[in-house]
Amino acid sequence: MTNGIAEKSPVVFARFAGFGLLLMFILAIFANFFVLESLIIPGDAARTANNIIANELLFRFGISSFIIVLILDVLVAWALYILLKPINKGLALLAALFRLIYAALFGVALYNFLSVLQLLSGANYLKVFETDQLHAQVMLFINAFSNGWVIGLVFFGFHLFVVGYLIFKSGFMPRIIGILLIMASIGYLIDSFAKVLLSNYTDYETIFILIVAVPGVVGEVSLAMWLLFKGNKIPEMVLKSKK
């Protein structure tokens, strides 16, 4: 009985991680492109504030989606650690720690959106501020979220690099997925440091987005699909690695 559970558990973890990665992808797409991109107008504090006020429920749904993504990040970090530790326990732990640090930083960054809602709540104590001042602070908190996320993505990039390396060395997972994740990790690191180092980053933003998005989306979605539908190949290899 115990051996049977041990053999099945990697499949359970694989499918759990695959489902979690896919759900995170869907929620992140919704929060980023259907909420933030539609409400936030870069450089226009008044329109951004008015958009959020007029679509407050949508904005709250976006925040809630990000919170669910945070929870899934922790759970996926745990599941991937279980799956990858037979390859190299130390590196699997390092990958999990990188993802957990990323989640923590992203959670701190996300707090800025709650401050945005507070500023636009119309509370009496906010009447000491002029409308333009409130709108300027809204943009300040939105930019603070973006800056916090940039720092978090550095750790996420290192997480993908380690996971990609472990997949490449695993012998039972497609090496192309590992290569794509390593490419995505390099893209995240280049993009994050470019935002810090280049004052004219926006001039090259499209190029940097492509560097991150193409290998990132293909690699992470491929990993999720493989874990969901091919995860049954893991138990035999895991058991062999323990002998």
pTM: predicted TM-score of the whole model, two decimal places: 0.88
- Tell me which residue of 165, 215, 157 sits closest to 185, measured CA to CA: 157
Looking at residue 237, its pLDDT comes to 52
Cα separation, 134 vs 193, in Å, equals 30
Residue % of the chain over a pLDDT of 90: 65
Do the beta carbons of residue 124 and residue 89 sit within 8 Å?
no
| Domain membership of residue 69 as a residue range | 2-242
Mean pLDDT of the chain: 88
Residue 6 above 60 pLDDT?
no
pLDDT tens for each residue of 30-75:
999 999 999 999 889 999 999 999 999 999 999 999 999 999 999 9
Domains of the chain: total: 1
Cα separation, 79 vs 22, in Å, equals 14
pLDDT tens for each residue of 168-215:
998 888 899 999 999 999 989 988 898 888 888 777 777 877 777 778
pLDDT tens for each residue of 147-174:
999 999 999 999 999 999 999 998 888 8
Do the beta carbons of residue 153 and residue 192 sit within 8 Å?
yes
